[in-house]
Amino acid sequence: MKHKIYGNELPNIPFEPKPAGIDSPLWRYSKNPIININPFPNASRVFNSAVMAYKGEFIGVFRADTKTGVPYLFLGRSKDGLKFSFEPEPIVFHDKNGDVVKFEYAYDPRLVELEGTYYIIFCTSLHGPTLGIGKTKDFKYFELIDNPFLPFNRNGVLFPKKINGEYALYSRPSDSGHTMFGDIFLSYSKDMEYWGHHRHVMEKGYEWWCGTKIGAGPTPIETDLGWLVFFHGANLTCSGLVYSIGAFIVDKNDPSKVLHRCSNFLLAPEEPYETVGYVANVLFPVSCLTDSKTGRIAIYAGGADTITELLFTDIDTVIDYILKYER
Ligand code: BMA
């Protein structure tokens, strides 16, 4: 390996080698989708969900659009990272006093472990869409942090390590609707509740494929060059927004500083399970697994707001591609 991932080894990471004849730096699992439509009672679609390695197996927080159409967060478990079983009821969050918090909706969760606590960052409502942050130590009891963000905001992605002693989080300020704009910003917090020292990180529209808005995806990966960040970029076409996957690398000690960004998207919606569905032409990366020993990376992405799929790459392939098509 030319490049290095700083992180845990994960010998059981789901992975397939790159098939011959594939030009893109990400490739799809041969048995996609891994979670198909109507996966469990009361869930019509599971997509844009977060998976992580946990106690030798895998655990995930899943966005399920229920049969009322409203999305909530559900817990799922898997032995191999490919086949999941789900809790039948949404995750119950409690406030500091132990009272159950009711949600209008909850979607697009990200999941990260930091200093022994598992944080779930997701989109929920506070008189309009904004970020919620939940935490758990055991995936049994979940607490909700008291309204850390104002509306309107989405795509909250927490760094897996404190940066210069503070929590660091990317987000994408937005509006109350489908948001036809949006850049990635960085915020810091000393306590995970009060966020400030905001910085602008990267603007939409530096190429056409991400012309309308961008939002960070999986938890940033620490590498020898800095933090590797996968993100989604949306471009408005005559038939609506098209969501593709891009990547950039930021400074290890200052993640507002973009060191390398790729002009090309890494992968765009092409397969029927990405181009046809509840919302056509959406490929939306939300979480990833990494193995520091082999440099393998597995990305969980939503397809067409309908299914969950798995993509693969490795650290050398993706960094070589970013640097080759650097802007
Ligand atoms: C965004 C979010 C995502 C969704 C995407 C495409 O605004 O709501 O959950 O995948 O739109 O519909």
Q: How many CB atoms lie within 10 A of CB 88?
A: 9
The predicted structure's pLDDT at residue 117:
98
- The answer to whether residue 11 sits within a structural domain is no
Structural domain tally of the chain? 1
Positions of the chain with pLDDT under 70: none
* Cα 57 to middle of ligand 1, angstroms: 29
The predicted structure's pLDDT at residue 163:
98
* Cα 56 to middle of ligand 1, angstroms: 31
248 Cβ inside 6 Å of ligand 1? no
- The answer to whether residue 243 sits within a structural domain is yes
274 Cβ inside 6 Å of ligand 1? no
- Taking alpha carbons only, the member of 269, 155, 261 closest to residue 217 is 155
For residue 302, the Cα-to-chain-centroid distance in whole angstroms is 10
The predicted structure's pLDDT at residue 147:
97
Q: Look at strands 240-250 and 226-237 and give their pairing.
A: antiparallel
Q: How far apart are CA 307 and CA 211, in angstroms?
A: 25
- The answer to whether residue 7 sits within a structural domain is no
The predicted structure's pLDDT at residue 251:
98
Query: For residue 130, what are the domain limits?
Result: 27-324
- The answer to whether residue 155 sits within a structural domain is yes
* Cα 145 to middle of ligand 1, angstroms: 24
Task: Report the CATH number at residue 308.
Answer: 2.115.10.20
107 Cβ inside 6 Å of ligand 1? yes
- The answer to whether residue 12 sits within a structural domain is no
- The answer to whether residue 16 sits within a structural domain is no
The predicted structure's pLDDT at residue 144:
98
- The answer to whether residue 255 sits within a structural domain is yes
3-state SS assignment for residue 291? strand
DSSP string, 224-253: TTEEEEEEEEEEEETTEEEEEEEEEEE-SS
